[in-house]
Chain A
Amino acid sequence: MGEMMSKVKVSTTINGDPVEYLCDAEETLLDVLRDHLGLTGAKEGCGTGDCGACSVVVDGRVVCSCLVLGAEAEGRKVTTVEGLATGDRLHPLQQKFLEFAALQCGVCTPGFLVAAKALLDRNPDPTETEIRFGLAGNLCRCTGYDKIVRAVQAAAAEMRKG
């Protein structure tokens, strides 16, 4: 948009790395991640907070990054799906999603993984109902709901073992 609009300079931490970027004041965090930072793991399924495909964790809380401004990430810690694996080693949730066939087209998967990770960070031993309601903000149209719940249960069990 050229000189007319003032850009905002943001310093933040994404997946453990310090990151600085310039964004437009009205640009969403989702667009910043996808268009400026090349982190296209978070997806846009609605842009209105209804589908959860854009879920990321900001300071320990799952948010719809389509409803957060890029500027709001200033000084915070952001985790996206790209930050779940450690090098080549998949996070237990990722591993269990594969084993339990909890994904099909996969476009909802990054959002589910991020939301599930935040859920398990808060509650390492959730009941099935807690998982179902904890992930009720994420839509899977394909639809892998039952398998997603089983995968999260299995990952939780594995993570508790340490």
Chain B
Amino acid sequence: MGRPEPRVDGRLKVTGNARYASDFPVANPAHACLVTSAIAKGRIVSFDLDDARAVPGVLDILTHETVGNEVHEPKFFGSGGTASTIHRPLSSAQISHAGQIVAIVVADTYEAAREAAYRVRVTYEEEDAATTLDSDGVETLPATKVRKEHKNPRVGDAAAALRAAPVTIDAVYETPTQHHNAIELYATTCVWSGEQLTVYEPSQFVHALKHAMAEQLGIDAEDVRVISPYVGGAFGSKAAVTPRTALVAIAARRLNRPVKLVATRAQGFTIATYRAETRHRVRLGAQRDGKLTAYVHEGWEATSRLDDYLVGGTETTAHIYDVPNVSTRVNVVRTDRATPGFMRSPPEVPYVFALETALDELAEALDMDPIELRRINDTRNDPITGAPYTSRSLMACYDEASRAFGWRRRNLPPGSMRDGDWLVGWGCATAVYPTFMGAATARVRLARNGATRVEIAAHDLGTGAYTAIAQTAAERLGLPVAAVEVLLGDSALPAAPVAGGSNTTASCCNVVAKACDGIRRRLVRAAMRADRGPLRGRKPSSVNFVDRHIAGEDGAKVSLADAFDMLGAPMIEEYAHWLPHGMEPDALKKLHLGSAALTGGAMEDRIAAAFGAELVELRVNVYTGELRVPRIVGAFAAGRIVNPRTAHSQYVGGMIWGIASALHEQTELDRRVARYVNTDLAEYLIPVNADVPDVQAILVSEEDRLVNPLGIKGLGELANVGTAAALGNALYHATGRRIRKLPLRIEDVL
């Protein structure tokens, strides 16, 4: 652990041999194509399917008239279930969002299915739809009404502190609708063999998908297997189970033939989840020396009518700085849209943008360097509960980032750093991500010749889980990484948590280490008991596994093969489960039922989070308003880093996500009809190679002996958290104009 091993799955990926869900060959598949709703609210009056059925090769067309009650109501993942929504697909004529699935056409070929899907004619009765935060017809509710467990962190008397503060900030911030747009499309292939169903679908939680299918189709969970060894990007979109899967399974059952669906890019905007738009009012009070005295944050988040989805990001922001008086409140706004869902750092991206921009405004009001302001308000304890951070390196991150960036050369006044036709601005912001962990199980098998196999139903979304897990087992067993085979992404393997909340490395490496320790104990015991063995009579704690040997401190050693002979077995298999600190004891049971229960972040007795500092340079052309980001430096501390190479990739990728989020991405809504407008990769802007600047990620070392036995914090969702605020702050520094609404666009500065 700790070495920059190249990805163990890399070779399969560069040769085109890694099998993603839609790459699995199945015998004689039929192909499915979805038909989605043209209206956002109302009902289907009738279908005209004659033209569609006339297309040669069409096998079946499913609508609510054929499916009806076949799909049982799923439980929402936010309430301990597995599903992205409680909506039962094709169960009625009711339409609750634009792009809802209204029919699924199955044919011998994809071309025939697509042709027939175009020819499905639907007559609707349309009602007025409420589109977004302040549209007519929305319903605004306090988050505490929508979800009982929701907490609005508060401490002290923020209102009084605000009144008394000599310097205050009061501003409103907004973030847009965004879609994950992983490059891999939403694909599902279902194959029945008698009672048994196999699902090939890219998944961040194969055990949840397995149970979801059992629950929704009314079958035995032991009859379902989900296979998803490689996932072509997910970012949250493949965690909760979406309505399409049950429909593909039903289509396959009716035809008694495998059915393969690859939804189009445009359909992906409405048949799965998205990041909903948010609004924030942030008020800060401070003394003239920069010490914060009050923080008041009220948030509004768009959601659907059906589900209780919310992100409630003050659960993160209230714990970052040392503020004695905090008051927060989150509201949800019900609209006629699909249910949103987790997208990379779901609460942090919008809420931290608001707070970190407000802090920059405060620094400006105080005429103070913005990093200095953060230093004054740094803390070792959770300001809400007083509990200590398990470790925290925010200011170390700022120090390293500002050194690499050359922050000292920054002129304080906005508009003072011009370079020819370009206004230059430097901005900074804090990145933060709570450390989450989940209950996990794993099986490890070690053979006499050192061949090791790790089985765990974890998920590698490109994050490097295969490699981190292989490194963990290799280190514990004293083997080269190449000796370790890792099997992931299959519900037939021991259950592991959802690949969400950046918990995979912490949860899975800890449980795999525990299973390896079980193997070690058995071998060590055998080696110590063996007559005339070189390690006879040693204390178990005095030996280590290195280089295919069990070695004592004095150099005495026994080879693995000899230890196996002493044990009298050709191989050892060990199963382990692991419960993180603070986890409810029934967590393992829940895990086996596919519930995404995680623990961590702000707990009663401690708080755990990874931190970072992001510094950016933004240039604005004085004539055209063109925005350019020539460089960005991020320094991050996330406990023990299992693999610096893959961690570096996550940080760089995260910061590029942050740039995209701040300067490019917005799903545009047609407010009259509550429909998305830019539903393809030409119109939904994400950066290309030519847009991307010099991105520097610095790994700040941090040791955490408390957070979990291996000292690992999650980092995949850390680096995209601070970027947008840093860019907005840099834009202010360049131009003197404060833009409080993302994305930042040319029209904002002209």
Chain A contact residues, CB within 8 Å of chain B: 1-2, 4-5, 24, 26-27, 31, 34-35, 38-48, 50-51, 53, 80-82, 84-85, 90, 94, 97-99, 101, 103-110, 113, 129, 131-133, 135-149
Q: Which listed residue, A44, A98, A142, touches B262 by the CB 8 Å rule?
A: A44
The reply to whether A82 and B462 contact each other, CB–CB distance below 8 Å, is no
30 contacting pairs across A/B (C-beta < 8 A): A1-B56, A1-B109, A2-B57, A24-B111, A34-B22, A50-B682, A84-B15, A85-B15, A94-B14, A98-B11, A101-B6, A101-B7, A101-B646, A101-B649, A103-B7, A103-B14, A104-B464, A105-B183, A105-B231, A105-B234, A105-B461, A106-B232, A107-B184, A109-B13, A131-B689, A132-B692, A133-B689, A133-B690, A135-B688, A144-B649
A136, B20: Cα distance in complex, Å: 24
Q: Which residue of A lies closest to B692 (CB)?
A: A145
Q: Which residue of A lies closest to B111 (CB)?
A: A26
User: Residues of A contacting B183 with CB < 8 Å?
Assistant: 43, 45, 51, 53, 105, 107-108, 139-141
Chain B contact residues, CB within 8 Å of chain A: 6-7, 9-11, 13-20, 22-23, 25, 56-57, 107-112, 181-185, 230-235, 262, 264-265, 461-464, 645-646, 648-650, 652-653, 656-657, 660, 680-682, 686-690, 692, 694-695
A61, B657: Cα distance in complex, Å: 31
A106, B111: Cα distance in complex, Å: 27
Q: Which listed residue, B18, B231, B265, touches A46 by the CB 8 Å rule?
A: B265
The reply to whether B182 and A105 contact each other, CB–CB distance below 8 Å, is yes
Tell whether A48 pairs with B265 under 8 Å between CB atoms, given A1-B57, A94-B15, A106-B462: yes
Q: Which listed residue, A24, A53, A131, touches B109 by the CB 8 Å rule?
A: A24
The reply to whether A113 and B14 contact each other, CB–CB distance below 8 Å, is yes
B266 to chain A, nearest CB (A): 9
A103, B648: Cα distance in complex, Å: 12
Q: Which listed residue, B18, B23, B182, touches A34 by the CB 8 Å rule?
A: B23
The reply to whether A110 and B6 contact each other, CB–CB distance below 8 Å, is no
User: Residues of A contacting B687 with CB < 8 Å?
Assistant: 143, 145
The reply to whether A107 and B20 contact each other, CB–CB distance below 8 Å, is yes
A94, B231: Cα distance in complex, Å: 20
The reply to whether B14 and A50 contact each other, CB–CB distance below 8 Å, is no
The reply to whether A101 and B22 contact each other, CB–CB distance below 8 Å, is no
A81 to chain B, nearest CB (A): 4
User: Residues of A contacting B6 with CB < 8 Å?
Assistant: 98-99, 101
Summarize A's interface: helix, strand, loop or mixed. Answer: loop
Q: Which listed residue, A5, A85, A131, A149, touches B56 by the CB 8 Å rule?
A: A5
A27, B107: Cα distance in complex, Å: 14
The reply to whether A27 and B681 contact each other, CB–CB distance below 8 Å, is no
Tell whether A132 pairs with B689 under 8 Å between CB atoms, given A97-B14, A143-B653: yes
Interface-centre pick from A4, A5, A105, A109 (highest chain B CB count, 10 A):
A105
User: Residues of B contacting A4 with CB < 8 Å?
Assistant: 56-57
The reply to whether A143 and B656 contact each other, CB–CB distance below 8 Å, is yes
Q: Which residue of B lies closest to A109 (CB)?
A: B13
Q: Which residue of B lies closest to A83 (CB)?
A: B16
A51, B265: Cα distance in complex, Å: 11
Q: Which residue of A lies closest to B464 (CB)?
A: A104
What 3 A-B pairs are tightest by C-beta distance, nearest first? A41-B16, A105-B462, A107-B232
The reply to whether B185 and A149 contact each other, CB–CB distance below 8 Å, is no
User: Residues of A contacting B13 with CB < 8 Å?
Assistant: 103, 106, 109
B112 to chain A, nearest CB (A): 5
Q: Which listed residue, B9, B648, B686, B694, touches A101 by the CB 8 Å rule?
A: B648
The reply to whether A105 and B184 contact each other, CB–CB distance below 8 Å, is yes
Q: Which residue of A lies closest to B233 (CB)?
A: A105
A43 to chain B, nearest CB (A): 7
A51, B689: Cα distance in complex, Å: 12
A118 to chain B, nearest CB (A): 15
Known pairs A2-B56, A81-B14; list 8 more (Cβ under 8 Å): A4-B57, A24-B111, A41-B17, A45-B184, A101-B6, A107-B184, A146-B695, A147-B649
A42 to chain B, nearest CB (A): 7
Tell whether A45 pairs with B265 under 8 Å between CB atoms, given A38-B25, A106-B13: yes
Q: Which listed residue, A1, A38, A110, touches B108 by the CB 8 Å rule?
A: A1
User: Residues of B contacting A27 with CB < 8 Å?
Assistant: 109, 111
The reply to whether B686 and A139 contact each other, CB–CB distance below 8 Å, is yes
